Chain A
């Protein structure tokens, strides 16, 4: 009994460390790919792929300055909380063929809440740094959170709710969502609805991780980095890592909800080979999601003002997600359920 508990704990700890390392390393790698691809789309050469790693190493050896007017313990705590929260979020998400390290009954609701924590940590860090730019950035970040949270929640709830209608047990558990892909459950109307929800989620992602056009909280030409303006050295490095891991988290969330398929059953692989194949396939899916939701959008548009961001999330995107929800709802009514298979 004791050895069993010990074993469980050991696995949990090792798994957490593994997932944390995975998040950091691949988060930075995807950042490098994103920068390189964006550079090529802008007809530039761009930095080498390993540049984000060098950036982090450099930040960690540099001096960590705490401004005079800052509340130093909150100021120093915020980056660690942000990184911790995103790594915990990653523990609830499946990575390749591996099941999530942590799981329970309402994973997806928990993930919704955990996603708020890094943003909240940035807000608190920004307010505590005592700079007017950071204060403006923190206000904008709070407004952003209020605006993208609603379409995000609708999307996630819609999927779980549809699974609940189809009599699956534990519809809010990640395990249920990945073992019963939404596309296999719904009919024609539902598929149209799901595509709409997917688009909404792809557009919520740049808001979650503050990328153009939704980077008002950090807007470098307006408020000189906003929330992060006073951060330097190790603290900035931690925020940088949190941002990298959050990219993986958002990508994995979309992959888990909409593309939970594995490749090993199609290739008739088993054992280690299946794990490797699924993992590589997962990385490809993650890349595609990040490419379409971050890289492609951020090179193609200008930064929006905060009122325009609120409008974009509250009116068009909320409407699209509500219509998606309605379509999925109609789909569950038996005489409207059109399955072509």
Chain B
């Protein structure tokens, strides 16, 4: 640390952060010269809890990994278990999964837009966007019975149907968002002060995004065409007309700054509306689940030996669930990788060289979700510790040696 600089801790509890994460900045005047961060404040041992329960009991827990991505985690988990057990999901259920997942994306992106506005001190826009978001929450409640935690999915299908007589209300809400889209676009993309705060701020170049494995809107805003819905289509996405969104659709160039991330999320709201309309138009008839009786389904899963990986595009990026079933009541392993895990390291190039004033909006621009990310907390001799690369490497070498004996 040079003589000119001083350290500024931000977090774990700070008004700029919606969830605990600890930043340690080295600042010169207002400029950030170095940044480090520590995660692991909200480790809940969810994977361990999961290995004490059967797959159907894990579903509600998977839904509670993240308050906002409560569709993405169950869908990834269901796909993983379905892969392991070789269950084919009926087509109608696939379409319903897509509709609910896209409704979640709309509400998540609009929620983010409000948070971002609050971070730059634009509270009027916060209240506007969250009022706009109410409409989709009402629709979700109408379709699933809950505003947030939807409890829609089961292994092999969905638990509730979306019927023809529900279409008018869905279409009404979609039309509302089509109208509001232009208004939101005007507020976020044309406002002078929003532009001043977000343009050329927190830049993540395409090269850095690729090197650090950024996912979701963060990667797409840097020009990386990466979207699980397109690249590895799951559920009904393969049938639908869907393109990866990049910011050059609006501005004609990719800068990878906060402004571009706003553009990507806004366009994805419009895209989600379009996807739901396509689903409603092409909704096939058929069963809701591959196996309607839970007892029979559990019996099948108990007999299953195998492993499966489920990938889904959450509003924040790619969610991966890995499940290993060994012919027992409970899964042998359940591994969750939330998108924020990949989007943590891009914070460093984004924040480097920026001002203190940029910290909240840049940190928020990846839409971080800390409690989804925290899979492990190292406590050694009663103290929190950081496991270094060398230590982990040593552990894995020892493990390999043990296996070779």
Contact = CB atoms under 8 A, between A and B. Distances in A.
Nearest to A215: B121
B82 interface: no
Contact of B197 (A44, A135, A220, A304): A304
A279 B117 CA distance: 40
Interface stretch (A245-253, A305-313, A321-329): A305-313
A224 interface: yes
B120 interface: yes
B121 A303 contact: yes
B122 A301 contact: yes
B286 to A, nearest CB: 44
Contacts of B119: 221
Contact of A305 (B125, B131, B192, B358): B358
Nearest to A212: B121
Interface in A184-221: 212-213, 215-216, 219-221
B128 interface: yes
B141 to A, nearest CB: 21
A215 B193 CA distance: 14
Interface in A26-69: 41-44
B168 interface: no
Given A43-B128, A305-B357, A221 B9 contact: no
A219 B357 contact: yes
B123 interface: yes
A101 interface: no
Given A42-B123, A221-B118, A303-B121, A216 B357 contact: yes
A222 B356 contact: yes
A105 to B, nearest CB: 41
Counting chain A CB atoms within 10 Å of each CB, which of B7, B14, B122, B356 scores highest?
A: B356
Given A221-B118, A303-B120, A304-B197, A43 B8 contact: no
7 contacts: A132-B7, A220-B15, A222-B359, A299-B123, A302-B121, A307-B355, A308-B196
A132 B8 contact: yes
B230 interface: no
A302 B197 contact: yes
Interface string B111-127: 00000011111111101
Given A301-B193, A305-B355, A306-B30, A222 B124 contact: no
Given A222-B16, A224-B14, A305 B124 contact: no
A140 B122 CA distance: 20
Nearest to A135: B6
Contact of B127 (A42, A223, A306, A308): A42
B360 interface: yes
B191 interface: yes
A146 to B, nearest CB: 14
A231 B358 CA distance: 25
B123 A223 contact: no
A302 B120 contact: yes
Contacts of B360: 221-222
B127 A303 contact: no
A18 interface: no
Given A43-B127, A301-B193, 5 more contacts: A42-B127, A43-B128, A132-B7, A139-B29, A306-B357
Query: 7 smallest A-B Cβ distances: which pairs?
Result: A303-B121, A302-B122, A302-B193, A305-B357, A42-B127, A302-B120, A301-B193
Interface in B91-131: 117-125, 127-128, 131
Kindly state the interface size class of chain B when it binds its partner.
20 to 34
A300 interface: yes
A324 B170 CA distance: 57
Interface in B278-332: none
A136 interface: yes
A47 to B, nearest CB: 14
A304 B123 CA distance: 13
Contacts of B194: 302
Interface in B125-145: 125, 127-128, 131
Contacts of B16: 221-222, 224
B118 A136 contact: no
B5 to A, nearest CB: 12
A220 B131 CA distance: 23
A27 B15 CA distance: 27
B196 A304 contact: yes
Nearest to B30: A306
A48 B360 CA distance: 30
A219 B27 CA distance: 17
A302 B191 CA distance: 9
A36 to B, nearest CB: 15
A308 B355 CA distance: 11
A299 B121 CA distance: 9
Contacts of A132: 6-9
A238 B360 CA distance: 29
Given A304-B197, A305-B358, A221 B121 contact: yes
Contacts of A307: 30, 355
A213 B124 CA distance: 13
Contacts of A44: 127
A308 B27 CA distance: 19
Contacts of A223: 356
B124 A42 contact: yes
Contacts of A305: 196-197, 355, 357-358
